[in-house]
């Protein structure tokens, strides 16, 4: 690991002042489950590591007038065990518990999950975010791509978004509060995740001198929501495809719906056509099947990952059934 300066500020203002104006100057340490691996492999070589774990205002879960406020330092286990989250946002609970390691759930944070870097093996082996060889040729299209994107993969990014909580938060209409030298700003969850087009860009809307401070989830008591994950094994592994859904009901009729797929694109992938099929309709099994089929229309699998299309379809259908409380 490359030598670095270490700082442990006590306030958010101090933490922001310690960050750099360019990526690579400083990295933020929370749970450290992703950052330390990146540093050990020399993918990240920051000059300074800023530990934010001792800043009280970045922690806690509380109900506010605007909904549910989740601090960026809340651990995945705390999120999954919180009574309010369990009652109102089961989609988040399922996603958090999908991290099979109790040890990782105990230290991994909500903010860390939302900001973690791609797990693309080309990126992790030092070929860069966009996975190019020394001659500038793209490695993924004709290489080992069985875990890569089937949506939004026309180039130059082929990795899949690593966040497990992202799809559920996008479906729930959450906002992310970000703080920087100019003060706080709110970013819709769907706009927070971004597809980079150059190596010096990131996968989210954060600037190098900004910190994700909290997540604001609108009231979800009347929103039927669920997450379904398809994994290769029920161990410490990342999903092959996931789906998070949120159904806003008016009696037995779906007033509006949001369907977001995960691990199939460089960002959480919004299935707008599928959601439109559900709007204004009464919940029925055949309707959910139609929506699931529509969700994967337009998929463009690579040479080795066509299997993901069926997995994504299954994930959408089962998430919808769970949210609608319709037995298979």
Q: Which domains, and CATH codes, for the chain?
A: 5-54 (3.30.43.10)
CA-to-CA dists, residue 249 to 127, 256, 264, 317, angstroms: 46, 7, 27, 18
pTM of the model: 0.95
Q: What is the pLDDT of residue 220?
A: 84
CA dist 194 and 188 (Å) reads 12
Q: What is the pLDDT of residue 326?
A: 62
CA dist 290 and 4 (Å) reads 53
Helix (H) or strand (E) holding 176: strand 175-180
Q: What is the pLDDT of residue 237?
A: 77
Contact 97, 104 (CB under 8 A): no
Per-residue pLDDT of the chain (328 residues; tens, 9 = 90+): 899 999 999 999 999 999 999 999 999 999 999 999 999 999 999 999 999 999 999 999 999 888 999 999 999 999 999 999 999 999 999 999 998 788 889 999 999 999 999 999 999 999 999 999 888 899 999 999 999 999 999 989 999 999 999 999 999 999 999 999 999 999 999 999 999 999 999 999 999 999 999 999 999 888 999 999 999 877 777 899 999 999 999 888 999 999 999 999 999 999 999 999 999 998 888 899 999 999 999 999 999 999 999 999 999 999 999 998 865 4
Q: What is the pLDDT of residue 100?
A: 79
How many helices (DSSP H) and strands (DSSP E) are in the chain?
Answer: 13, 12
Q: What is the pLDDT of residue 244?
A: 98
Helix (H) or strand (E) holding 214: strand 211-217
Q: What is the pLDDT of residue 187?
A: 98
């Amino acid at each position: 690991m490359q030598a670095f300066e270490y700082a442990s500020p006590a306030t958010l203002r101090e933490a922001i002042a310690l960050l750099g104006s360019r990526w690579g100057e400083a990295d933020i340490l929370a749970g450290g489950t992703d950052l330390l691996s990146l540093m050990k492999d020399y993918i990240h070589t920051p000059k300074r590591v800023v530990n934010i774990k001792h800043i009280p205002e970045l922690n806690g879960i509380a109900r506010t007038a605007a909904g549910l406020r989740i601090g960026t330092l809340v651990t995945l286990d705390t999120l999954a065990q919180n009574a309010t989250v369990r009652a109102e946002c089961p989609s988040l609970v399922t996603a958090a518990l999908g991290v099979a390691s109790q040890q990782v759930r105990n230290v991994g944070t909500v903010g860390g999950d939302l900001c973690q870097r791609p797990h693309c093996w080309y990126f992790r082996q030092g070929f860069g975010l966009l996975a190019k060889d020394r001659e500038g040729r793209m490695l993924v299209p004709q290489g080992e791509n069985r875990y890569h994107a089937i949506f939004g993969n026309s180039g130059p990014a082929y990795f899949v978004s690593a966040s497990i909580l992202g799809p559920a938060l996008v479906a729930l209409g959450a906002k992310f509060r970000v703080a920087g030298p100019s003060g706080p700003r709110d970013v819709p969850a769907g706009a927070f995740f971004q597809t980079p087009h150059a190596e010096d860009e990131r996968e989210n809307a954060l600037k190098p001198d900004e910190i994700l401070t909290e997540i604001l989830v609108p009231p979800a008591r009347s929103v039927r929501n669920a997450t379904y994950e398809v994994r290769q094994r029920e161990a410490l592994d990342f999903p092959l495809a996931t789906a998070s859904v949120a159904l806003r009901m008016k009696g037995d009729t779906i007033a509006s719906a949001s369907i977001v797929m995960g691990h199939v694109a460089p960002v959480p992938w919004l299935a707008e056509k599928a959601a439109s099929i559900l709007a204004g309709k009464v919940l029925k099994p055949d309707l959910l099947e139609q929506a699931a089929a529509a969700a994967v229309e337009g998929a463009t699998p690579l040479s080795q990952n066509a299997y993901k299309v069926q997995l994504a379809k299954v994930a959408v259908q089962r998430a919808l059934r769970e949210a609608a409380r319709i037995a298979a």
